[in-house]
Amino acid sequence: MKLSQTNYKRIIKFQRDEITASILYKKIAQKIKDDSKKMALLEFAAAEYEHYKIWYDFTQKEVKPDWFTVMIYNVLFFILGQTFIIRYMERKEKYTQMELQQISEQIPVAKTIILQEEEHEMRLIAMIDEELKYVGSVVLGLNDALVELTGTIAGITFALMNTRLVALAAIVTGGAATLSMAASNYLAQRAEKRDDALRSSIYTGSAYLITVVLLVLPYLVLPDGYYISAFIIMIAVAVFIIFSFNYYIAVVQATEFWPKFFEMALISLGVAALSFAIGIAAKYFLGVNV
């Protein structure tokens, strides 16, 4: 079949995507302990390689995989876990189907590949289960830490005007709040007679503690008089945490990213702004000079 220049370029891209996906599925399968998931991913790897060979028949050109993408996925698997990667692969299957639709009339074999990609997508969705039941615990820890700590740090920053004093107050407050939040979550889960109450509380406490460390860090690193710079960096860190976490949740739960991001950011930064005003007012009316 004579290919147009546009379709030739598209098929070259499909070849690269298919051979890359084949390698990715194999590498992910090697890291997963569940035998049924491992076998399914190896099936996908074989199918993607067959797709690569189908496109090769059109181009008669060997195409190398995108090794950078393979490396990135390996790193993401290590950091974010299999649920995130499997969901991300599922989304990629969906985009591939959309691209294949564009040439399916000129190249009928694309319709067969679309059906196989749809099957992959559905089976990938069925795999996503193991970590999502603890997302609520992580959300609880992060939300509470971001709202409480950004507010607390904003208030005491302009009341104390010293990075070391702010760090001390924030560490004490954050440490106590971490233990309190983990204990409260544990008791709540036990009251509901859940067997995984301890693990759930560990997720909540860990999320809270990590957030505390990241928010306090600018005050520990910068000199005493740089409290405004530390405050600005702390706000930037808070926004980055909100962005990163909401992106993760949007991927694994297949939800809209921007509405959740703006909601969480507005709440956290709104509380910080109000606390800033309270800190200034309290210092003025109490006549405290540190």
3-state secondary structure of 260: helix
For residues 112 and 153, state if they share a domain.
Answer: no
Give the amino acid at 162: N
Average pLDDT per 10 consecutive residues for the chain, totaling 290 residues: 82 93 92 87 93 94 94 86 80 85 89 89 72 65 82 87 93 91 86 80 86 94 92 93 86 83 88 83 76
User: Based on the structure, what is the number of domains in the chain?
Assistant: 2
Domain closes at, from 82, 102, 127: 127
**Region of residue 254 (phi > 0: left; psi between -120 and 50: alpha; otherwise: beta):** left
For residues 79 and 121, state if they share a domain.
Answer: yes
For residues 86 and 162, state if they share a domain.
Answer: no
Single pTM value for the model:
0.74
What does the radius of gyration of the chain's CA atoms come to, in whole angstroms?
Answer: 25
Looking at residue 14, what is its pLDDT? 93
Looking at residue 140, what is its pLDDT? 66
For residues 118 and 154, state if they share a domain.
Answer: no
- Residue 210 belongs to what domain range? 133-286
Looking at residue 27, what is its pLDDT? 92
CATH number of the domain within which 44 lies = 1.20.1260
Domain closes at, from 127, 158, 190: 127
Looking at residue 279, what is its pLDDT? 79
For residues 159 and 235, state if they share a domain.
Answer: yes
Please say whether the beta carbons of 279 and 155 come within 8 A: yes
Domain closes at, from 86, 106, 127: 127
* Burial (CB count <10 Å: 0-12, 13-18, 19+), residue 71: exposed
Looking at residue 137, what is its pLDDT? 67
Looking at residue 163, what is its pLDDT? 95
CA separation for the pair 168, 205 (Å, rounded):
20
Looking at residue 131, what is its pLDDT? 53
3-state secondary structure of 256: coil
DSSP H or E stretch at residue 1: none
For residues 91 and 172, state if they share a domain.
Answer: no
For residues 154 and 246, state if they share a domain.
Answer: yes
For residues 21 and 53, state if they share a domain.
Answer: yes
For the stretch 172-177, contacts whose Cβ atoms lie closer than 8 Å and that sit 24 or more positions apart, written own/partner, are 173/149, 174/145, 174/149, 174/208, 174/209, 174/212, 174/215, 174/216, 175/212, 177/144, 177/145, 177/148, 177/149, 177/208, 177/212
Angle at 126 between CA 122 and CA 130, to 5 degrees: 150
